[in-house]
Amino acid sequence: MVRRPLTGSEQGDLITSRDNRWLKKFRAALRGTGPVEGEPIGVEGPKLVEDALTSGIEAEALLVSESAEAGLETILNAASASEAGVPRSRILRTTDKLFASVAGTEAPQGIAALFSAPMWTFEDVLRGAADENGALGGDFPLVVVVAGVQDPGNVGTIVRSAEAFGATGAIATRGTADPWSPKALRASAGSALRLPVLRGIAIPVLLAQLKMARVKVIAATGRAGGELSVVTSTSDNPVLREAVAIFIGSEGTGLPNEVLSAADGRISIPMRSSVESLNAGVAGSIALFEAARQRQGTA
């Protein structure tokens, strides 16, 4: 494992073939829709790579373009300081042109890495990740569930807000954009690598797990009303202080009927009648902010 910055002579030979197996692996990860089981997470850009290294997840390989080698020291220092580090043999160098051919961004910055996917459990999502002092999340779980949201940017925004506002974890149900896809990772600004995240769970299975864990299902809806009583986020009804899972649906179709039927309550965001709905990223962020406000005792 790397425990100190490497000099240029210690790095590997320059990769000059487009068919190199490592370049193929990076291309699949950085241009895909998210890793399947057993595949690595592709992370692109020096800031995201550094954040991933310092978060402690295991790096499989680091790829650097020729023009980015001058700025590599910060990344290697982060690798040296991390518990997992980066194997020396997996620090790979390639040309700017070949790096651009595997990158998932229009203006690549010349640094990317592959990381082993964290092995989070449902219990982790309820407990939350430990902070820098080793403390876990609050007394009551606060989980955000993204159901049927297709835009990875919205999914990433919700995960970023979840970490910012103290959620214990995030869940993307089956049919939702992958929080570990390259676009969602960038939108989350690395939060999806730190916050406990579960992917691809069927909604009936998740609803059963939440019921067994005594976590209330709260459906975020575009408009108040319907068969269930509307739970409003007011000082008289601070429902989000409890153990809750807030379900966010897509802007177009909203939440599935099975979620609405199983919900212990609904929340809606007051807005002008001329606006039909907010996009999922904005709605999820507002709901999570309100949950944080209530939990801080200011409701």
Angle between helices 280-295 and 152-164 (to 10 degrees): 10
Would you say residue 1 lies in a domain? Answer: no
Angle between helices 72-81 and 46-55 (to 10 degrees): 10
One domain, residues 193 and 107: no
One domain, residues 13 and 102: yes
One domain, residues 110 and 217: no
Would you say residue 137 lies in a domain? Answer: yes
pLDDT of residue 1: 45
Count structural domains, the chain: 2
One domain, residues 56 and 145: no
Question: Domain end: 95, 115, 135, which one?
Answer: 115
One domain, residues 63 and 148: no
Which residues sit opposite 146 in a β-bridge? 172, 248
Question: Domain end: 79, 95, 115, which one?
Answer: 115
* Closest among 104, 107, 116 to 44, alpha carbons compared: 104
- Structural domain including 54 reads 8-115
Tell me which amino acid residue 190 is: G
Instruction: Give me the tens of pLDDT residue by residue for the chain, a chain 299 residues long.
Output: 444 444 443 456 899 999 999 999 999 999 999 999 889 999 999 999 998 988 888 899 999 999 998 878 888 777 776 666 677 788 999 999 999 999 999 999 999 999 999 999 999 999 997 655 444 455 789 999 999 999 999 999 999 999 999 999 999 999 999 999 999 999 999 999 999 999 999 999 999 999 999 999 999 987 554 332 334 444 455 678 899 999 999 988 889 999 999 999 888 888 888 877 789 999 999 999 999 998 886 44
pLDDT of residue 65: 96
Residue 232 near residue 219, CB atoms below 8 Å? no
One domain, residues 33 and 106: yes
One domain, residues 94 and 138: no
The CA R_g of the chain, rounded to the nearest whole Å, is: 21
pLDDT of residue 239: 77
Q: From residue 26, how far is each of 19, 22, 63 by CA, in Å?
A: 11, 6, 8
* Closest among 263, 257, 290 to 207, alpha carbons compared: 263
Would you say residue 278 lies in a domain? Answer: yes
pLDDT of residue 268: 87
Query: At CB < 8 A and 24+ separation, what contacts does 253-260 make?
Result: 253/148, 254/221, 254/222, 255/147, 255/148, 255/219, 255/220, 255/221, 256/147, 256/148, 256/203, 258/203, 258/204, 258/207, 259/147, 259/203, 259/207, 259/217, 259/219, 260/219, 260/221, 260/226, 260/227, 260/228
Q: Which residue has the tokens 């507002």?
A: 286
